Structure 1
């Protein structure tokens, strides 16, 4: 059972790295950087019913609150889509959770 969980986490980490490579501003202009306004070390996420775009620091990936949101996103949408990371929660909930991270 522990081997399955370990492999699942490795698969999740690889998927997340792929999305971050595509959407982060570590490299040159990325396909998720629609307006060219994503600062270095950040990436966009889309939140709520209207998919409002938020720019978040990559450092948040280590926070349990943000990891919870990422797990929900994976369960809802998976990691195979072009728009970037879409967080399936109300925008007010997102703002409350992320305010705890700041």
Structure 2
């Protein structure tokens, strides 16, 4: 599991890399204050509030991302879902969804990865 502190350190390192001419998937990875940047498998960029780090669904997504893509210290965090799924996840977390719905959503993401 990636701790919020480690995630912030990684984001700062990527911002420094970007400032020195490093390449990323799309637009610069600098996030607004109080947010972090992730990318989806279809290379869409999302700026997520730091408060979402505590949600179970984002914790599971980070674990799945680590299993699938590894911990890259020289690139962006890639979530194991497409942009449509990420938009749905962000809207659910924003609304404060029930744990059962989070589990169902994660199961559907796992099923898509297996197929």
Question: Structure 1-normalised TM-score?
Answer: 0.67
Q: Which residue of 2 aligns with 1:69?
A: 61
Secondary structure at 2:66's aligned position in 1? Answer: helix
Q: Which residue of 1 aligns with 2:36?
A: 43
Task: Find out whether 1:21 has 2:25 as its counterpart.
Answer: no
Secondary structure at 1:54's aligned position in 2? Answer: strand
- CA 99–32 in structure 1, closer or farther in 2 if over 3 Å, else same: farther
CA distance in 2, matches of 1:37, 1:82: 14
Q: Which residue of 2 aligns with 1:79?
A: 71
The equivalent position to 1:91 in structure 2, one of 83, 86, 94, is 83
C-alpha deviation, 1:47, in angstroms = 0.8
Structure 1: tracts of 5 or more residues without a match: 1-8
How many matched pairs? 85
Q: Contact conserved, 1:22 with 1:30, CA < 8 A, in 2?
A: no
1 or 2, which has the higher strand percentage? 1
CA distance in 1, matches of 2:74, 2:61: 18
* Backbone CA RMSD of aligned residues: 2.4
CA distance in 2, matches of 1:32, 1:54: 17
Question: Structure 2-normalised TM-score?
Answer: 0.61
Secondary structure at 1:86's aligned position in 2? Answer: coil
- Give CA-to-partner distance per residue, 1:1-40, whole Å, 9 cap, x none: xxxxxxxx5xx43xx533322315xxxx544686375211
